Chain A
Amino acid sequence: MVDLISIATKAIFVENILLSFFLGMCSFLACSKKIETAMGLGMAVIFVLGVTTPINWLINHYLLRDGALAWLGYPNVNLSFLQFICYIATIAAMVQLVEMVMDKFAPALYQSLGIFLPLIAVNCAILGTSLFMGTKGYDFTESTVFGLSSGVGWLMAIVAMAAIRTKLQYSNIPLGLRGLGITMLITGLMALGFMSFIGINL
């Protein structure tokens, strides 16, 4: 249990997927103008991460990794080169599925997230988390926790950014720095702030 809490705090604060691995920057920059949209997108990302990371773990563990097909009687088969294509297919399919399920059972939520859901398929935070989970050698529960808390970290970063950008409307920024430039600088400062979490260990 302590293990899991440690993984979670690490993924949320110390190794924030956005601020220290730069994953999911594109949608972070595009959708951080308003707090509501940032919140919606962040929630959708948490959800998709929470679903796809464990599924990809199962795929990797029982189908792709070296010797994974032993249960079928092929202990020498190594399909790990199919990792990328399988992961991205799972993600795209899951996003599609989540979209349809939501449309049927939670139309209000679907309406509010509507446009962002399909975008999530190409959010590198999702694929990145699946790939990181492999390199870090997590087991099933650990991967699930890692996926969910990566999402929480991402949500926190994007909502904080949206809040700062709302305030920013009243400041007089040099012309060339407006938009992307100032956003990058602020993200840099936020990353600097998050670096103070380095060294925290549970």
Chain B
Amino acid sequence: MSVATAPEKTKEPLFGTKQKKTLTDPFWDNNPITLQVLGICSALAVTSQLKPTVVMCIALTVVLTGSNVAISLLRKQIPSKIRIIVMLSVVSTLVTLVDQILKAYAFDMSKQLSVFVGLIITNCIVLGRAEAFAMANKPWPSLLDGLGNGLGYSVILLLVATGRELLGSGTLFGMHVIPQALYDIGYVNVGLMVLPPGAFILLGLIIWVQKQSSKQFEV
């Protein structure tokens, strides 16, 4: 049996094309929210303003990267029958850490995000990536995958939040950006954008653009 090098034996470069693809694919072409349909709940709930959205994106990326690495390290020890509960406890430990840090250093923000920090535990992205990627891959690619998906999630969240805050209250990060002159000639903020339906509709439209541009259609 002299078949050419087994793939496990070859030493992979730390940051080759494959690793780069793992990292950047989720940004647009394989986006966790719009194409994998994971983690939609928080994408809608926290996006009425940009500030909490940014905090949420950072929190999720940290938890996702951390949990992917931890689960990837543990993957050979976790019995497959109880893997869900093991993953949940890893994730909820990380979320507890993030929550405590937010409470200590950004109390107002943690009040504003209320239950949604806790809900990162059941955010399908975290469990979905743990199950689909971290259980079958080494720590380093898992870290990249976690980071990539966290950032891909952030891309969509920031898009939705920018749209909602700009159209809904005419501000970005709380600063007025729509000139007074525009209001004087009769421009009105779209109050609907701040409310739940606005989030659904805006995300629906973003998904449309995204699918049209990446040519991934559902039948």
Partners in one complex: yes
Known: A20-B196, A22-B45, A124-B123. A185 touches B201 (CB 8 A): yes
User: Which of these, B37, B39, B201, contacts A188 with CB under 8 Å?
Assistant: B201
A35 at the interface (CB under 8 A from B): no
Instruction: Tell me how many residues of B have a C-beta within 8 Å of chain A.
Output: 47
Cα A135 to Cα B35 with chains together (Å): 33
Interface size class of A (residues with CB under 8 A): 35 or more
Residues of A within 8 A of B88 (CB): 88-89, 92, 121-122
User: Which of these, B34, B92, B201, B218, contacts A178 with CB under 8 Å?
Assistant: B218
- Flag if B127 contacts A122 (CB, 8 Å): yes
Cα A123 to Cα B41 with chains together (Å): 10
Cα A176 to Cα B197 with chains together (Å): 21
Known: A88-B88, A176-B212. A135 touches B121 (CB 8 A): no
Interface residues of B in 102-148 (CB under 8 A from A): 114-115, 118-119, 121-124, 127
Nearest-CB residue, chain A, relative to B216: A176
A109 at the interface (CB under 8 A from B): no
- Flag if B41 contacts A22 (CB, 8 Å): yes
Q: Is the interface of A mostly helix, strand, loop or mixed?
A: helix
Cα A34 to Cα B214 with chains together (Å): 28
Q: Count A-B pairs with CB separation below 8 Å.
A: 139
B40 at the interface (CB under 8 A from A): yes
Known: A122-B124, A174-B208. A84 touches B115 (CB 8 A): no
Cα A170 to Cα B75 with chains together (Å): 45
Residues of A within 8 A of B38 (CB): 26
A21 at the interface (CB under 8 A from B): yes
Known: A23-B41, A191-B197. A185 touches B204 (CB 8 A): yes
A37 at the interface (CB under 8 A from B): no
A-B contacts besides A22-B41, A179-B217, A188-B199, 6 pairs, CB < 8 Å: A30-B37, A84-B99, A88-B92, A92-B85, A92-B88, A127-B121
Residues of chain A touching chain B, judged by Cβ–Cβ distance below 8 Å, are 19-26, 29-30, 81-85, 87-89, 92, 118, 121-124, 126-128, 131-132, 135, 174-185, 187-189, 191-192, 195
Shortest Cβ-Cβ A-B pairs, 3 listed? A188-B200, A179-B218, A184-B204
